[in-house]
Amino acid sequence: MSGDEVRRAWIEAVEDLWPDARVEPAGPGAAAGARRELAFLPDARRPRLLVPAGLPRAAAAALRRYSHDLGPKQRAVRGVTAAAVRTGLAERGLKDRLLVTGGGASVEDHLGELLGRPVVVSIGLGSARANRKPILQVLSPGGKPVAFVKVGDTGTARDLLAGEAAALEYLNARLPGPGGEHDGGHGGREVRLHVPRLLHHGAWQGLDLLVLESLPTGALGWRPRGRAPLDEMRTLFEVGGVERAALRDSGFWDALTASPARIQDAGQRDRFGDVIENTGKAYGDLPLDFGAWHGDWTPWNMAWHRGLLRVWDWERFARGVPNGFDLLHYRLQEAMRTASGPPYASWPGTAAAALEPLGPTGTAASATVHLYLLELCRRYLLAAQEPIGGPLRADTERLLELLCSHPPRTDSPRTDSPRTDTGRTP
């Protein structure tokens, strides 16, 4: 996107949040009469965040808690910058601003009513892609975190928010709050996995709002990337019970085989269908354990705090998937961040061995890798055909070609994996 297109996207997001207001770039001395002034961080050419100007504590709090996809050095710099912004001095250097003038009740007014207190928001907006949506940090004017809000402004975003709301309702009922214990299938052992509480999910001014509790995850929080949280992944996998079944008899396989009909491009639809057919021939009779997965468990979607693993972004949560999907996603998505070539340029040859701590070995492990990549390809194919799915299309084609060029194999020395189920899914 050009610089003008990027700025226009941010202005449109603010216009949605302040209905009927005039939203425009600030000029010299133009702040008089504005109901809200928002400053771009770091600037309008490279926007990552809009923070409320004139409220340095709120702006600093938004900066400290923004973006967990950072390395240790970047997080340290972010923390130092936030401390400077809190003094009010650094904020004066933020020259690129938007002025909001006039209009009716704003998203801040609406959220204030929902949460029972005056609030302000900072606004994040990701890069152009099918699942892009405005993300709001809800803060008190003094900078105390109050809530976290996802805004559904497209059909895709609304569907994702509805999925996350349903996931959190399900998980909030089955996982304990901080410091609690869980006795639903885990032998009463302490559970260190914490998901956000769902505070509200509803429509406002043509937008869908998903309001979540604010998690205590600051910019300097501990985020160990080298060690995957295996115990917490097991906890989630078992949360609704585990079912053992042959692949072809599973609900996962039914959903996967039905998905080519939703692909608009005939060539991609046929190729994907062929890969699914070949996978069924190779692994259809293979018994696997099926349970729950987060759907996008990465190092940047989690943080440890006071002995609990806080995990967010549950939009892709699903039940009835093969054991090990979360671990594969965690390892492979992190590896792509440091790879020299483009994503999905080569088959992840060591991925099957990485599954052994969770149980799958031999053919079961190989099948799980193949099924994970099939599920990811299905997700990409559907997202890439959305109006703003263009940035995903090159990755989609590489992943589809990778699957086409690596047919399933069943020559591993072991043809099954140990049972890991704790009972059948209710």
Instruction: Output the CA–CA distances (angstroms, integers) from residue 248 to 154, 254, 257, 363, 400, in the order listed.
Output: 35, 8, 10, 15, 22
Q: Which domain holds residue 139?
A: 3-213
Work out the percent of the chain whose per-residue pLDDT is above 70: 80
pLDDT in the model for residue 162: 97
Say if residue 194 is in the same domain as residue 302. no
pLDDT attached to residue 312: 94
Does residue 426 belong to any structural domain of this protein?
A: no
What's the Cα-to-Cα distance from 252 to each of 145, 284, 288, 305, rounded to whole Å? Answer: 39, 12, 11, 34
Q: How long is the chain?
A: 426
Give percent of the chain above pLDDT 90.
62
Assess whether 300 and 275 both reside in one domain: yes
- Rounded to the nearest 10 degrees, the angle between the axes of helix 325-338 and helix 362-384 is 70
Task: Indicate whether 260 and 188 sit together in one domain.
Answer: no
The most distant pair of C-alpha atoms in the chain lies apart, rounded to whole Å, by: 74
Domain boundary residue among 213, 242, 262? 213
Q: Dihedral (C-alpha) 124, 127, 133, 135: value to the nearest 10 degrees?
A: -20
**Domain co-membership, 330 together with 383:** yes
Please report whether residue 221 resides in a domain.
no
What per-residue confidence (pLDDT) applies to 401? Answer: 98
Whether 338 maps to a domain, the answer reads: yes
Task: Please report whether residue 348 resides in a domain.
Answer: yes
More confident of the two residues 40 and 30 = 40
Q: What is the mean pLDDT of residues 356-374?
A: 97
SS3 of 311-345:
ECCCCCCEEEEECCHHHHHHHHHHHHHHCCCCCCC
User: What does the alpha-carbon distance between residue 174 and residue 169 come to, in Å, rounded to a whole number?
Assistant: 9
Pair 104, 203 in one domain? yes
Least confident segment among 244-258, 325-339, 390-404, 405-419: 405-419
Radius of gyration of the chain (CA): 23
pLDDT given at position 79? 52
pTM: 0.86
Domain membership of residue 390 (yes or no) is yes
Residue 223: exposed, middle, or buried by beta-carbon count in 10 A (0-12, 13-18, 19+)?
Answer: middle
Report the pLDDT value the prediction gives residue 111, as an integer from 0 to 100. Answer: 98
Pairing mode, if any, of strands 22-25 and 97-101?
A: antiparallel
Query: Does residue 120 sit in the same domain as residue 258?
Result: no
* Residue 36 belongs to some domain of the structure: yes
Q: Give yes or no for residue 415 having a pLDDT over 50.
A: no
Judgement on whether residues 209 and 234 belong to the same structural domain of the protein: no
Domains of the chain: total: 2
Report which listed range, 59-68, 177-186, 306-315, is most confident. 306-315
Residue 181 phi, psi dihedral angles, 5° rounding: -120, 155
| Average pLDDT across the chain, whole number | 85
- Spatial CB neighbours of 185, under 8 Å, sequence gap ≥ 6: 238, 239, 241, 422, 423
Judgement on whether residues 181 and 46 belong to the same structural domain of the protein: yes
How buried is 377 (Cβ within 10 angstroms: 0-12 exposed, 13-18 middle, 19+ buried)? buried
Asked whether residue 103 falls in the same domain as residue 176, the answer is yes
Name the nearest CA neighbour of 247 among 142, 119, 360.
360
Last residue of a domain, one of 213, 242, 263: 213
Here the CATH number for the domain that contains residue 263 is 3.90.1200
